[in-house]
Copies of this chain bind each other. A is one copy, B any other.
Amino acid sequence: MNYTTGTGDLKDWLVAEDGFRPEWLGKGEAVFSLGNGYMGLRSVTEEHYANETRNLFVAGSFNKFADNEVTELPNAADVLWMEFKLNGVRFDLTQGTIHSYRRTLNVKHAELTREVTWESPSGDMYDLVFSRFVSMANVHVIAQRVTITPKQATTLAVTSGINGQMTNSGVQHFLEGDKRLYDGRFMQQLQKTTESGIDFVFHSVHRFKAAETIEPKSIIKMDRRKIFFDYSDIVVPAGETLTIEKYSTVFTSRDRDVEATDLAPYALDVTKDVEAFGYDRLLEEHVNAWDGLVWSHVPIQIESNDMFDQLAIRFAQYHLAVMTPKHDNRMNIGAKGLSGEGYKGHTFWDTEIFILPYYTYTNPKIARSLLEYRYQSLSGAHRKAKENGYEGAMFPWESAWLDDGEVTPVWGAADIVTGEATKIWSGFIEQHITSDIAFATWQYYQVTGDQDFMDQYGYELLIDTAKFWASRLEWNEAAGRYDINEVVGPDEYKEHVDNNAFTNYTAHWNIQKAIEYVELLRSEKPELFERLNEKLDLETAEERFRHVLDLIYLPQVREDGVLPQDDTYLNKQIIDLTKYKNQENVGSMFLDYNLEQVNEIQVSKQADVMILMYLLEDLFTADVKRANWEYYEPKTLHDSSLSLSTHSVLASDLGDQELAYDLFRRASEIDLGPNMKTSDAGIHAASLGGIWQAVVNGFGGVRMTGGKLRISPMLPKAWTSLTFSIEWQGETLDVHATQQHVTITRRVASEKPLQVEVYGEKRVITDTFTSDVLTV
């Protein structure tokens, strides 16, 4: 993978791959993946290679194959697929000679292009250019264009169509549906998910263009779950160019934007329109849509002595837009976005803690939609609480369709000691997800001031989650306090621990906020109080909240400043972790230890205490934060992609900009770095959200604490300037920071005073404010 500067308008917008390596297919498939939040398309090549992974996912289309599996996003039909024969020889980059090769993701245009000069094994030469995009303007459309320019007269054959044989690693989620050709050109294939009963409708159509009008010889074929054309005897003179366009559309019966009662004929009509419209005009609409949604709306400029930094944040924004189902509040973001089978399209705390801040601070409408998803999935959270003997909303660790409840799989990787599959405990006891959602709800409200959201959903979410925690507490008679035992905290290398600091502190925070809001509702919003009282029995709940609040055990900072991660962590064995800290691939410790053994060592997968100190930062002094950094970071393997970006922000907070920069780079390299095997199962959604946080919350110094805004940028040495915008309480603030100065501008000046803390000083900004950069 490399990063091209590009020129002119495309400077710092291109990610490119300069060589074709069959063993690295997965990397390109994931990092170049296309999408529009409605669907995500892995960037496989048109022609097939061994060990490729062809994926097309439609957000929210979950299906469960069997009772002993969990629901997942099904891998829909492959519409990209095209096979070429050039003078009788299959186009196959593992054969013959590649004279030049470049595959480029143009992040600005969200278009993928592959340019190849290929010499076939029989010595013929061809220039081929493959382009494609998944439209952001009409989210149902996938457009492809292939141009072939032979250096000698060539007879071409193409096989291309719709292949519904795709599976999720062997799991088939679809019933075979009808296949049909319309008007002699428009291929249609229907599918229906086996359990959730969602109808999928696929169409594809081809268009051939050449110097002279051509009518290729064609024959329509059907096979099992397949409909395709065999085109043959297409004669291309030497030096002339043949263009093949393929337009495909994808619709499902869950689409809210389709009002037609009969989906298939409607989709066929759309396909006809799309094909008539043509690649260039579709692309123009698509590029404009991207510009409006992302690039003009949330421009971030980094002047760095390494162009990679600018590209890294754009790459993150690109994938955040590709993965986010902004069109439908019944859907959320998967841990791998829509770019791979990893984590089955499920939503984790990754959304609330790592991704949501991007939207909360830049596009609150999308943030709200994602939080509404949680509100709508309360029934599953109630069910999970009840099944575990608790009250209120116990959110599932992994979440899929609204009423699914808990969908975390139960069995994972091999235990190298016992030879059995390892049990995944997260779905049972990784419970902090509930306070994570409460925290994100509150953060959204504080940053946006969206009172309508709070009235409709926010108060209820905060109180219902607190009810869970209040019921979850365990009375410790000996100590005269409430414990939270037998959990997994953010650090998943410690299972079945008691009083995980992150869990206890955020649970405490959650109950505290609930008390605050119950009070507020009673005094200021009596009607809403009544409504929620009926639903949640606020009075009983409040009594319980007030009873437990001060009895919740909050692990205390030791004399050396270290906050115990849980009751036993600090007593566990300390070993030399050098080998694992220097690992090439994450998880290397499991080549030597099983999880049970790792559990007994002072080693962490990811930030745990540290992320607590990031989220509830005003509870801890700078000295305590530093002491904990120094204790825990050397024991943290960053085996979770959620770890590095958090650490980068914290390093910024601690004033170590160079360490923060190093961590930002390492976080960016999770997907964009030289290790070509990291992204096979898909891009790392939370890490990409974390990159934005490292830039804006870290170097940009943006933070909301206790409802107050702070902006205290501190750039790393490599950067000349950082320019970004955030939304705060309904207005846009533009921030421009250099090594010397920071300028904060209210895009629309206002008499209403805006208080911002800048480098420790409270400032009131009316239009533009400039400050020297100061170390806090």
Contact = CB atoms under 8 A, between A and B. Distances in A.
Interface of A: 22-23, 48-52, 65-66, 68-69, 90, 92, 94-95, 164-167, 169-172, 175-176, 178-182, 184, 194, 219-225, 227, 412-414, 416, 419-421, 591
B69 A176 contact: yes
A145 B101 CA distance: 39
Contacts of A225: 169-171
As for how many copies of this chain the complex holds, the number is: 2
Nearest to A412: B222
Given A220-B414, A414-B222, A181 B419 contact: yes
A170 B224 contact: yes
26 contacts: A22-B90, A48-B50, A48-B51, A50-B50, A65-B172, A66-B194, A68-B176, A69-B176, A92-B94, A94-B94, A165-B167, A165-B169, A169-B223, A169-B224, A169-B225, A170-B224, A180-B420, A181-B419, A182-B419, A219-B416, A219-B591, A220-B414, A220-B416, A222-B413, A222-B421, A227-B414
Contact of A184 (B176, B223, B419, B591): B419
A593 to B, nearest CB: 12
B219 A181 contact: no
B170 A172 contact: yes
A170 B65 CA distance: 13
A22 B420 contact: no
Contacts of A220: 414, 416, 419
A170 B165 contact: yes
Most buried by B among A23, A52, A221, A419: A419
A179 B222 contact: no
Contact of A179 (B22, B175, B178, B421): B421
Contacts of A90: 22-23
Contact of A172 (B172, B179, B181): B172
Given A66-B176, A170-B172, 13 more contacts: A50-B52, A50-B92, A66-B194, A68-B175, A92-B94, A94-B94, A165-B169, A169-B223, A170-B225, A171-B225, A178-B421, A179-B421, A180-B419
Nearest to A224: B169
A50 B51 CA distance: 7
A413 B221 CA distance: 6
A203 to B, nearest CB: 13
Nearest to A66: B175
Contacts of A48: 50-51
Contacts of A170: 164-167, 172, 224-225
Contacts of A221: 413-414
A413 to B, nearest CB: 6
Contacts of A219: 416, 591
Contacts of A68: 175-176
Contacts of A194: 66
A92 B419 contact: no
Contact of A167 (B51, B172, B176, B421): B172
Contacts of A66: 175-176, 194
A299 B52 CA distance: 47
Nearest to A414: B222
A54 to B, nearest CB: 11
Contacts of A69: 176
Contacts of A175: 66, 68
A169 B94 CA distance: 24
Most buried by B among A52, A166, A179: A179
Contact of A414 (B23, B94, B171, B181): B181
A647 to B, nearest CB: 29
Contact of A95 (B22, B165, B166, B178): B22
A712 B49 CA distance: 55
Nearest to A170: B165
